[in-house]
Chains A and B, each alone.
Chain A
Amino acid sequence: MTSNTDIILDSIADGVFTVGLDWRVTSFNAAAEKITGIARDEAIGRFCAEVFKTTVCESNCVMRRTMENGEPVIDEEVSIVRADGETVTVSVSTALLRDREGDVIGGVETFRDLSVIKELRDALIGRHDFQDIISKNHLMQRLFDIMPEIAESESTVLITGASGTGKELFARAIHDLSPRKGKPVVTVNCGALPDTLLEAELFGYRAGAFTDAKKDKPGRFAMAEGGTIFLDEIGDLSAATQVKLLRFLQERVYEPLGSTASVKADIRVITATNRDLDAMIRDGTFREDLYYRINVIKLSIPPLRKRREDIPLLTDHFIKRFNRLRNRNITGVSAGVMAILMEHDFPGNVRELENIIEHAFILCRKGQIRVDALPEYLRPASGGEISGRLDNLQDIEARFLLESLRRNGWNRTRTAAELGIHKTTLWRKISRLGIELPSKDGRSRPTGRK
């Protein structure tokens, strides 16, 4: 390849690589390096499947199709697994490479990173996936560990947790990991619709079922056929709809409004609530028999205040996400912001943290997010960056540990469990940071921090 060709190829925003008839990469432009994270000299001479690493290389290689039938492929969406383990959606096009005599000497593939488009598309429809569940908390890790088994079973799942903890993400993860992946997953917020509409929305109706029912309308259950239906806010179901759902769970059939014929359906049901269903059963507002039907497997998602160690991870995740969506280059949050976030109780959980970062992106154009970019309710009364006692990471850590110890009644075992660290690690930190424990503990250490 001439250097002019190199210059031309490198000026193209799309990734471009060529392969010989032996499937080894013969050229790799600058955009290809950027999208795949692979340096040109690492790619040249290697098998294209081992460089490009798409999820279709083995079973439905786009380039192979072109090589076999001579037909170019235009803009086909595939996923590549980058060297950092992230999956990136790209659009690929392929064509044959011929020499001056017209003989085929290989193929050329161009590809475009669609991750921003995909992210925007997902954001528009409010969709996230398993990779958005980010945690190193031991309670969450335990949930991750049992996810494959839960996904594989056909059992009904009840997901409990406060608002904003990510119940829908778990529901989607269960679906995506299950054999039903590829079939629809339909979400219904049972609390968002009045009961009269909800029943029609869930089960559909036949023409003439009510005044405005001019023609048949399939419900969400019909839309979820073969897949999964996720019923959020299940505690908001009326008594009548509870009966219908119970019948479906018992017999796997339902009747659309205005129909006398039953419809059989193959649907997995996942439900979620932030309400105390046990209390609702005691009050008589939730059916006990339905509770036992939906509570075959129960996942309890801890609130963010119970997994504070995830706050820095999630903050970083949201910053990266908004950087991509808004085409910004925010580098992180200041120590003062992190201290405030670590101390905040997050009644709105992960969603609240996401909203806080989104708010900060409006006020902060570049560099670090500082305290004055936070929503007003989080800003300290004095305003500006926290200084003095919080001017370094050690102070932040000390203040964070103190808060956690106080919250747990100075019980170190419980504090360590909350923080997801070992008791001895906690003790080392207490000693190193000079945190004084109350005298009733009998093991107080002298120092300056209280």
Chain B
Amino acid sequence: MKVAIPIWNQRISPVFDTACRIIVADIREGREVSRNEYDIGGFSPAERVRQLESLGINMLVCGAISNRQAQLVDSMNIAVIPWVSAEIEEVLGALSRGSIGETDFLMPGCRGRGRRRRGSGGDCNAGRGRRRKE
């Protein structure tokens, strides 16, 4: 599974729409087998999604994401775990151990709402996106 995580100061970027860098980690059988970093600074919403697609990303773990951007990521059939605030290493550790629970590392404002996704929007009322076929 290839996971993309926008990074800022060793933490998940607060807003994916304007994140400047992403880490792409390949996690197989509970182990992180590779990790690379890519520049996405100044990319338009469509360019961000194209970059994820060209890198073969299966899952995006991010902080805040606007409904519009979430809709575009959804359209590429990439699973999204939004509204995460944590150190990058914490997130990668959790993903290697299995996955991120509905209430793990929730950003402020998402308490009591879980992370369920609603339709194609990026609402933190709303949960996980579709999982891309591997």
> Would you give the 0/1 interface string for B27-68, flagging 1 where the beta carbon is closer than 8 Å to chain A?
000000000000001001111011000000000000111111
Size category, A interface: 35 or more
Q: Does A94 contact B (CB under 8 A)?
A: no
> A217 contacts which chain B residues (CB < 8 A)?
none
Does A271 reach chain B (CB closer than 8 Å)? Answer: no
Sort chain B's interface into a size bin. 35 or more
Q: Across the two chains, which residue of chain A brings its CB closest to B8?
A: A58
Q: Which chain A positions have C-beta within 8 A of B15? A: 53-55, 57-58, 81
Query: B19 interface residue, CB < 8 Å from A?
Result: yes
Say whether A148 contacts B108, CB under 8 Å.
no
> Does any Cβ of A come within 8 Å of B111's Cβ?
yes
- Answer yes or no: A346 CB below 8 A from chain B CBs: no
- Indicate if A136 sits at the interface (CB-CB under 8 A): yes
Cβ–Cβ contact B19 & A58, under 8 A? yes
Tell me the interface secondary structure of chain B in the complex.
loop
Docked CA distance A82–B20 (Å):
20
Q: From A83-91, A120-128, A226-234, A239-247, give the one contacting chain B.
A: A83-91
Within 8 Å of chain B (Cβ to Cβ): is A131? Answer: yes
Tell which of B20, B50, B76, B125 touches A59, judged by Cβ atoms closer than 8 Å.
B20
Task: Judge if A291 is at the interface, Cβ distance under 8 Å.
Answer: no
Report chain A residues within 8 Å CB of B85: 46-47, 50
Contact segment of A105-113, A173-181, A197-205, A320-328: A173-181
Q: Tell me the smallest distance from the CB of A128 to a CB of chain B, in Å.
A: 13
* In contact, A56 and B75 (Cβ under 8 angstroms): no
A99 to B63, CA, bound (A): 33
Contact of B65 among A39, A81, A148, A152 (CB under 8 A): A81
Are the C-beta atoms of A177 and B46 separated by less than 8 Å? Answer: yes
Q: Does B113 contact A (CB under 8 A)?
A: yes
Pick from B8, B70, B72, B76: contact of A177, CB below 8 A: B72
Judge whether A410 is part of the interface by a CB distance below 8 angstroms. Answer: no
| Residue from A55, A58, A136, A179 within 8 A of B44 (CB atoms) | A179
Q: With A81-B15, A83-B109, A86-B67 given, is the CB distance from A145 to B75 under 8 Å? A: yes
Expressed in whole angstroms, the Cα–Cα distance for A425 and B115 within the complex equals: 28
Residue of A nearest to B107 (CB): A50
Chain B residue with the shortest CB-CB distance to A181: B44
Shortest B80–chain A CB gap in Å is 11
A11-59 with Cβ < 8 A to chain B: 36-39, 42-43, 46-47, 49-59
Are B64 and A81 neighbours in the complex by a CB distance under 8 Å?
A: yes
Contact A58 B13 (CB under 8 A): yes
Task: List the A side residues contacting B49 at CB < 8 Å.
Answer: 148
Q: Which of B14, B63, B67 is the most central at the interface, judged by chain A CB atoms within 10 Å of its CB?
A: B14
Chain A positions within 8 Å of B120 at CB level:
141, 144
Return the contact of A58 from the options B14, B107, B108, B125 (Cβ within 8 A): B14
Task: Give a binary string over B107-134; 1 marks a CB under 8 Å from any A CB, 0 the rest.
Answer: 1111101000001111111100000000
B18 sits at the interface (CB 8 A): yes
Whether, in the assembled complex, B71 has its beta carbon less than 8 Å from a beta carbon of chain A, the answer is: yes
Among A36, A57, A141: residue with most chain B CB under 10 A: A57
A400 at the interface (CB under 8 A from B): no
**Cα distance A155–B44 when bound, in Å?**
17
- Complex: A51 Cα to B83 Cα, angstroms: 11
A121, B134: Cα distance in complex, Å: 46
B12, closest chain A residue (CB): A50
Name the distance in Å between B122's Cβ and chain A's nearest Cβ.
Answer: 4
A248 within 8 A of partner (CB): no
Within the complex, the shortest CB–CB distance from B109 to chain A, in Å, comes to 3
Residues from chain A with a CB closer than 8 A to the CB of B8 are: 49, 58
Q: A53-B63, A58-B18, A84-B124 are in contact. List 20 more A-B contacts (CB 8 A).
A: A42-B111, A47-B85, A50-B14, A50-B63, A51-B108, A53-B107, A55-B15, A57-B18, A83-B64, A83-B107, A85-B65, A85-B66, A85-B67, A85-B124, A147-B75, A149-B50, A151-B46, A177-B45, A177-B46, A177-B72
A-B contact pairs, 14 of them (CB 8 A): A36-B109, A38-B109, A50-B63, A50-B85, A57-B18, A58-B18, A81-B66, A84-B123, A85-B67, A85-B123, A86-B67, A87-B67, A144-B120, A149-B46
Give residues in A with beta carbon < 8 Å to B. 36-39, 42-43, 46-47, 49-59, 81-87, 130-131, 136, 141, 144-145, 147-149, 151-152, 176-179, 181
Which positions in B face A, CB cutoff 8 Å? Answer: 8, 11, 13-15, 17-20, 41, 44-47, 49-50, 63-68, 70-72, 75-76, 83, 85, 107-111, 113, 119-126
